[in-house]
Amino acid sequence: MAPQDLSVESPAGDGAAADGGAPADSAPVVRVRGLVTRFGQQLVHDGLDLDVRRGEVLGVVGGSGTGKSVLMREILGLNRPAAGSIEMLGRDIAAMGEAERVALQARTGVLFQNGALFSSMTVAENVMVPLKEHTGLPRGLIAEIARVKIAMSGLPPFAGAKYPSQLSGGMVKRAGLARALALDPEILFLDEPTAGLDPIGAAAFDQLIRNLQRSLGLTVVMVTHDLDSLTSICDRIAVLVDRKIRVGTLEQHLADPHPWIRDYFHGPRGRAARHAET
């Protein structure tokens, strides 16, 4: 059965998505079906379906309380839904044992809100954590890989010796990104990556993500409120409304009559973001 939430998907045969995104017929790297999420009596998701295509940048948006970050955590296996199925890279999350789960986690990278760095470790030590946990590489090679990832994230070499408290907000984000890239992931999950950054810093971070996605062949799932990010780097946008999800291009969402979607994309900030891209 075709997923009902894809009512604004591109029609079959559209070919490649904008800006180098994955073709519409690419096999999904994440497949969610019939997802139900509850917190006590509160129903957050009710029969939610979602496909994430290989090689795309997918933005995830929605109003407060719609469960954007919760959905990301469920896909990662950090939260267990009340019902439904989640497959990532062809594996059923719920059916995996601990060893399989750890192996799958090594194929993903995650940038949580505010970086989520260990405050007692330097940036380099933070980046080395997943390498120590998931590989048997010698310490010298691990340190060299950490230096490469720090450079890839756009940080200067001296940042590796700094502690998180010694960094600006933008540098903390980039340090968290370096750690997320440590194991050469296939899928990169970003939770509000530009929150708290000034417009120049946010635009630079968006461009960094797009450049990394293209050069490394990443699939990127990005939870965000940043309309500039949605218009500048996302191939498709997933909107959480009415406990389900609608996925489509920006142009498709602009034509959607749903009241929240219309207000979100046609409001003053939405118009300003689109104008900045023209």
DSSP 112-160: -TT----TTS-HHHHHHHHHHHH----HHHHHHHHHHHHHHTT--GGGG
Asked whether 10 and 248 are in contact (CB, 8 A), the reply is yes
201 and 85, same domain (yes or no):
yes
37 and 173, same domain (yes or no):
no
Distance, first Cα to last Cα, the chain: 39
Q: Whole-angstrom Cα distance, residue 269 to residue 228?
A: 9
pTM: 0.87
Q: Compute the half-sphere exposure of residue 237: CA atoms within 13 Å on the CB side of its CA.
A: 26
164 and 101, same domain (yes or no):
no
Domain boundary among 156, 184, 212: 184
The pLDDT tens digits of the residues spanning 130-175 come to 999 999 999 999 999 999 999 999 999 999 999 999 999 899 999 9
126 and 250, same domain (yes or no):
no
Q: Domain count of the chain?
A: 2
Q: Compute the half-sphere exposure of residue 39: CA atoms within 13 Å on the CB side of its CA.
A: 8
Query: Is 261 domain-assigned?
Result: yes
Q: What is the pLDDT of residue 27?
A: 79
Domain boundary among 155, 184, 213: 184
49 and 129, same domain (yes or no):
no
- CATH number of 43's domain: 3.40.50.300
Quote the domain boundaries for residue 193: 27-107+186-278
Query: Is 17 domain-assigned?
Result: no
209 and 164, same domain (yes or no):
no
Q: What is the pLDDT of residue 16?
A: 37
Joined tokens for residue 275:
């104008």
Q: What is the pLDDT of residue 267?
A: 77
Q: Whole-angstrom Cα distance, residue 248 to residue 8?
A: 5
Query: Is 219 domain-assigned?
Result: yes
What pLDDT band is residue 191 in, cutting at 50, 70 and 90? very high
124 and 97, same domain (yes or no):
no
Across 24-33, 62-71, 149-158, 219-228, least confident range: 24-33
Joined tokens for residue 139:
């310490």
Domain boundary among 134, 168, 184: 184
Query: Is 3 domain-assigned?
Result: no
Identify the DSSP state of 16.
B
CA 7 to each of CA 16, 118, 221, 249, 255: distance values in angstroms, whole numbers, following the listed order: 19, 42, 20, 12, 12
Instruction: Sort 200 into a burial class: Cβ within 10 Å, 0-12 / 13-18 / 19+.
Output: exposed
The pLDDT tens digits of the residues spanning 63-85 come to 999 999 999 999 999 999 999 99
Query: Is 4 domain-assigned?
Result: no
Q: Whole-angstrom Cα distance, residue 199 to residue 190?
A: 18
76 and 197, same domain (yes or no):
yes
Q: Whole-angstrom Cα distance, residue 60 to residue 149?
A: 26
Asked whether 57 and 220 are in contact (CB, 8 A), the reply is yes
197 and 101, same domain (yes or no):
yes
With CA atoms as reference, report the closest residue to 152 among 208, 232, 205: 208
**Cα radius of gyration (the chain):** 19
